[in-house]
Structure 1
Amino acid sequence: MEAFRALLVVDAERFSAHRDAELPGLHLEIRRVLAVACRESGLGETWAKVRFMESTGDGILAVLPLDAARALIDPFPRRLQEALESAAPGLRMRGVRLRLRVAMHIGLVDDERPDAPGISTATVDVNRLLDAAPLRDALKHSDPEVTFAAFLVSAELFASYVEGGRTGLRESQFSRVHVTVKQFDRPAYLYVPAPSHADGPPAEQDGPPADQDEPPAERDEPPAGRRTEAAGPSISGITISGDGSQNAIGNTIGGGFRQERG
């Protein structure tokens, strides 16, 4: 049965730039810091009992009870920034790094349907927010030793909880941006718990910056060992591939996909 839920999706910056052997451990670290941040935000039990949570390879998509939305706005972003900052020295010693883009939304979701859990417009929309250029730029143009997480909050969530005065954050701590990804064309609100600027001004050039992990409308390139032709995630032994941006949520697939049995 559909009910209003809080939606959270995270994605690691430049995940596939790491060596293939490092990817499973890095994904587990994403899960660990999320659990730590939830626990420190008073959401530990809620996170442990989430009905719908899926791996996206380089991130996590989770659907939480609506009453978790207040803590997801505040203090969860600060707690996640702190967890990532604490983990950074150990990760650096292993030759890896972890910075996260995070999108949050509220909407109707059926997170109990066994054949197609989590399928809704809200889950599609929160993934569009995650792909937004302003969110990518917030990390790209920041100091990687200072800013470890950036958050994009949907207009609906912002209006209910920030404008509504239901959190400890003020409206002035967010930047209003416009998100245009495929058919998604709406305002959203950017929040960076530890803002910073990258060292030095960006060099002028014709093409995208050399350190750009991907174009704004595309996801990270697949890790080594997968097809290089826009390969997508593998769900129940089915490899999903296609051209352009795609979304795979639960058992529903959106975009131009081809399925190949593994």
Structure 2
Amino acid sequence: MPTTVPVPVPGSESRPLPPYRALLAVDAKDFTGLPAVQHAAVSELIPQLVDLALAKAGLAGLRDAKRFPASTGDGIVFGFDPARLPFVLWPFLRVLDDVLGEYNVISVGPRIRLRASVHVGPLPDSGAPGDGNGTARNDTHRLLDSRPVKAMLASASEQTTHLAAIISDRVYQDAVLGGYTRLLPDHCTEVPATVEGKNFAQRAWLYVPSPSGSLLSAGVPAKEPAAAGRPETPPAPAPSAARYQGNSQRVKDGAAVMGDIGGDFTFTGRSDTTNRAANQHWGSGDNVSGSKNVGGATEDRT
């Protein structure tokens, strides 16, 4: 007879809180689209690239002290001492982007582009089976699968942008706003992290070490943080600051946008159609007011 494992009843008594563990998870973009013959090799390659980046970032100790590491097939997840969180945010994520870029230049195989999520929370870590399982780990994977980080990597050039990272709000508040890391608030973009088909919605922050293509035009922060000594206080949001808060659609003449847009929104359509409007927030999206000029005629809209 198998030994029965007692399942605790929530709220039935007070018990010690598990230790806090930071978590890093990564997975590969378009892994399932690879030929089956390449799956095993890419699954083995990803942790090697992560370990190489940890060593290059001066985090060999973290590499050798991972807690409850696991392969997810198209990536990996592991826990670590939360005291190292500031160094994972900077310089590790930037170094991982560089390592992926160098690999993709010399490799004759498929390009490896990764999503990464960083989170922290209480998780069992006693050396027993079941270590690392809990809400914090579930949320780490949800963040990794969320719409914004997938859309961000898909919108970027595969030649330039090799990594898109999503940082939980708890990590952002403690490590970034707390001033413990060289990754500054200026280099993070707030997003609503949701996962299709899942009951999950959290505030989170995107960091793209090497933005490209439409990410640059959208105002995604540049790669290099400012020099040491710059005040690490969160700047007040400027009216013209671009923010990702939803999805866009391509329409016949112009652009349709769902979500929030910071600042003015301008596009030029076919012929003499020009649209420029000041941004307003209305309900779950944006209400645009201003003038629409078509072929010399003017139509005011509010």
TM-score (norm 2): 0.64
1:36 matched to 2:55? The reply is: no
Post-superposition offset of 1:111: 2.6
2:270 matched to which residue of 1?
Answer: none
Aligned partner (choices 52, 56, 66) of residue 68 of structure 2: 52
Aligned partner (choices 36, 43, 52) of residue 27 of structure 1: 43
Report the residue type matching 1:157 in the other structure. Answer: V
Post-superposition offset of 1:184: 2.1
Post-superposition offset of 1:129: 0.4
* Pair 1:203–1:157, CA change in 2 (3 A): closer
Post-superposition offset of 1:106: 0.7
2:206 matched to which residue of 1?
Answer: 190
2:124 matched to which residue of 1?
Answer: 110
1:156-182 superposed Cα distances (whole Å, 9 cap, x missing partner): 000001101111121011000011232
Report the residue type matching 1:10 in the other structure. Answer: V
Distance 2:49 2:164 in 1: 14
1:164 matched to which residue of 2?
Answer: 178
1:14 matched to which residue of 2?
Answer: 30
Q: Which moved more, 1:161-170 or 1:180-189?
A: 180-189
1:249 matched to which residue of 2?
Answer: none
Distance 2:33 2:126 in 1: 35
Distance 1:203 1:173 in 2: 26
Q: Which has the larger radius of gyration?
A: 2
Distance 2:199 2:30 in 1: 25
* Pair 1:82–1:186, CA change in 2 (3 A): same
2:13 matched to which residue of 1?
Answer: none
2:152 matched to which residue of 1?
Answer: 138
Post-superposition offset of 1:183: 2.5
Report the residue type matching 1:100 in the other structure. Answer: L
Q: How do residues 64-213 of structure 1 correspond to structure 2 at under 5 angstroms? A: 64-91=80-107, 93-94=108-109, 96-181=110-195, 182-197=198-213, 204=250
Aligned partner (choices 62, 69, 72) of residue 78 of structure 2: 62
Post-superposition offset of 1:205: 7.7
Provide runs of 4+ in structure 1 moved above 6 Å.
none
Which SS does the other structure have where 2:111 is aligned? Answer: coil
Unmatched runs of 5 consecutive residues or more in structure 2: 1-16, 218-247, 253-302
TM-score (norm 1): 0.73
Post-superposition offset of 1:112: 2.9
Report the residue type matching 1:174 in the other structure. Answer: C
Post-superposition offset of 1:198: 5.5
8 Å CA contact retained: 1:12, 1:101 = yes
8 Å CA contact retained: 1:63, 1:111 = no
Which SS does the other structure have where 1:130 is aligned? Answer: helix
Distance 1:16 1:103 in 2: 19
Distance 1:15 1:8 in 2: 19
Unmatched runs of 5 consecutive residues or more in structure 1: 207-262
Q: Which moved more, 1:142-151 or 1:16-25?
A: 16-25
Post-superposition offset of 1:113: 4.2
Distance 1:134 1:167 in 2: 23
Distance 1:188 1:157 in 2: 9
1:18-54 superposed Cα distances (whole Å, 9 cap, x missing partner): 1111111112221111001111222112212213100
Post-superposition offset of 1:89: 2.3
Higher RCO structure (Cα 8 Å, ≥6 apart): 1
